[in-house]
Amino acid sequence: MALNFVLPASPSTLAPAPSVATHHASTASAGPAGAAPTGGLAATCATVAAVAGLAQRQRNRNKVARKFSLNLPNMPGFPFEKSKKTVVITGASSGLGLQAAKSLAQQGWQVIMACRDFQKAEKAAKEVGMDPENYQVIHCDLASKQSVRNFVQTFRTMYNSLDALVCNAAVYFPNTHKEGVILPGLFPGGGPRWSAEGHEMSFAANYLGHFLLCKLLLEDLKKSSFSAPRCVILGTVTATVNGAGLGGMIPPLAHVGNFEGLEKGMKAPVTMLDGGAFDGAKAYKDSKVCDVMLMKELHKRYHKETGIVFTSLYPGCIAETNLFREHYPLFQNLFPAFHKTVTKAYVSQEEAGQRLAACVADERYGTSGSYYSWEGEAGTGGGGGREAVQNTEKDLDWFMNYGSFRTLSIDEIGGEAADDQRCSKLWELSEKLVA
């Protein structure tokens, strides 16, 4: 980036200079009547000074306007020009979000890492080798509506528009409803956790914060100078949108009901969207159903008008991730091995991150309303296999399950997320909560 400047000529060029002869004559003039002429050393010094002054004035006459450039570095949000695409990724300090951020930064995107823990995000970005010129960390706690608003305000002071938004961050508290394992008091769950505004934490961080973020950043996505800006919202196979898909049949089953709990405001003692008894694992699954519903409703309300592409995806089973940090240690150790050998659904964090990055940057993933899912070598969404854009046919997987792990068009999305009226109701109730 270059800034050009012009320096004018010296103002002294406008004034004519007296001649040396005139000045010399004045120094050699006679003094008072009867006195001797004032010559000698004084006259010589005056003459030298006059000659020097004349030379300086002559140099000033020869000055002309000069041009020069100041080269400035390409700084994030610098308002003079935009040279690369900008993406906001929530939960980018670890796991899937971090690997997607790394992949997009390597492709030349400006990555905004929206994270609750600023220092953790900075350290993680450095550890995976991200170029400091291609990322920036901005604080955002999705479980706080005020924090989300502050993030958007900060973003707008630094960037004029947005090209992609990735709603990735999630929390998972699978045991919070349990009194203990084997014996009461052994690894107790501790009960529901609450957000800054008093909502159950899984609902607040996984869904409601993203709902508010999407609503606020829609205006920034509309300003994108690139064709087809994107909004990508993470789904999960455990909250099936694929009919009677295998992953969604693992209890506890996701069930949002008719949003009885949401109608009551989702504040203590209400913890579940359907108004039922608290279950930490089910709360996570319910929130992910809402995320897919959010994607569908955004597509219905805004895609045709704005051209923004709204999609969701299941990136595969990332069994080694901080998402399971609240689970029992034995589960954390056995879970990856189980999915590598039994379900064949295991995918590495790096490959999953590349899948998410493709939904952001690959032009083939630009069909709004799609729910993308990779086949995997065993047909269960794990590593390798057909890419999501090709994985649209109903095939038999490792468990002889027919068509569970495949890409869906918006009209093929099943389960509770298939109900358009419920999707619309979720939107309207969510607007009341963030008003």
Confidence of residue 324 (pLDDT cuts 50, 70, 90): low
Q: What share of the chain is helix, strand, coil (3-state, %, to 5)?
A: 40, 15, 45
Per-residue pLDDT, 83: 77
Q: What's the distance, CA 307 to chain centroid?
A: 19
pLDDT tens digits for range 118-168: 999 999 999 999 999 999 999 999 999 999 999 999 999 999 999 999 999
Mean pLDDT for 219-224 is 97
d(CA 67, CA 71): 13
Check if 346 is active-site.
Answer: no
Whole-model pTM: value is 0.79
Mean pLDDT for 244-251 is 73
d(CA 169, CA 144): 13
Does the structure show a pLDDT above 60 at 9? no
Is the separation of the CB atoms in 76 and 159 below 8 Å?
A: yes
Q: How many CA atoms lie within 13 A of 241 on its CB side?
A: 34
Per-residue pLDDT, 30: 41
Q: Give the residue carrying structure tokens 């995918």.
A: 347
Per-residue pLDDT, 272: 98
Per-residue pLDDT, 182: 66
213: nearest Cα among 148, 291, 125: 148
- Enumerate residues 6+ apart whose C-beta is below 8 A from 209: 141, 142, 143, 144, 145, 148, 169
Per-residue pLDDT, 55: 53
Per-residue pLDDT, 53: 56
Token readout for 146 is: 């005020």
Per-residue pLDDT, 35: 42
Which of 260-274, 345-359, 403-417 comes out lowest in average pLDDT? 403-417
pLDDT tens digits for range 22-78: 444 344 344 444 444 444 545 554 554 555 555 555 555 554 443 333 444 444 444
In residues, how long is the chain? 435
Is the separation of the CB atoms in 90 and 66 below 8 Å?
A: no
Does the structure show a pLDDT above 80 at 238? no
Domain limits, the chain: 87-434
Mean pLDDT for 251-279 is 96
Name the range with the highest mean pLDDT among 132-141, 394-403, 404-413. Answer: 132-141
Q: Work out the burial of residue 417: count CB atoms within 10 Å of its CB; fewer than 13 is exposed, 13-18 middle, 19 or more buried.
A: buried
Is the separation of the CB atoms in 239 and 290 below 8 Å?
A: no
Whether the bond between 252 and the residue before it is cis, its omega within 30 degrees of 0, is yes
Per-residue pLDDT, 383: 95
Strand order in the sheet with 230-234: 135-139, 110-115, 86-90, 164-167, 230-234, 309-314, 371-373
Which of 21-35, 50-64, 215-229, 240-254 comes out lowest in average pLDDT? 21-35
What is the phi/psi pair of residue 57, to 5°? -65, -30
Does the structure show a pLDDT above 90 at 204? yes
Mean pLDDT for 334-339 is 75
pLDDT tens digits for range 296-310: 999 999 999 999 999
Does the structure show a pLDDT above 50 at 198? yes
From the candidates 159, 284, 314, 346, give the one annotated as an active-site residue: 284
Proportion of the chain above pLDDT 70, given as a percent: 75
Which of 6-20, 223-237, 415-429 comes out lowest in average pLDDT? 6-20
> In CATH terms, is domain 87-434 a member of 1.10.287.130?
no
Per-residue pLDDT, 40: 55
pLDDT tens digits for range 62-118: 544 433 334 444 444 444 345 799 999 999 999 999 999 999 999 999 999 999 999
Per-residue pLDDT, 175: 80
Confidence of residue 345 (pLDDT cuts 50, 70, 90): confident
Which of 6-20, 123-137, 187-201, 210-224 comes out lowest in average pLDDT? 6-20
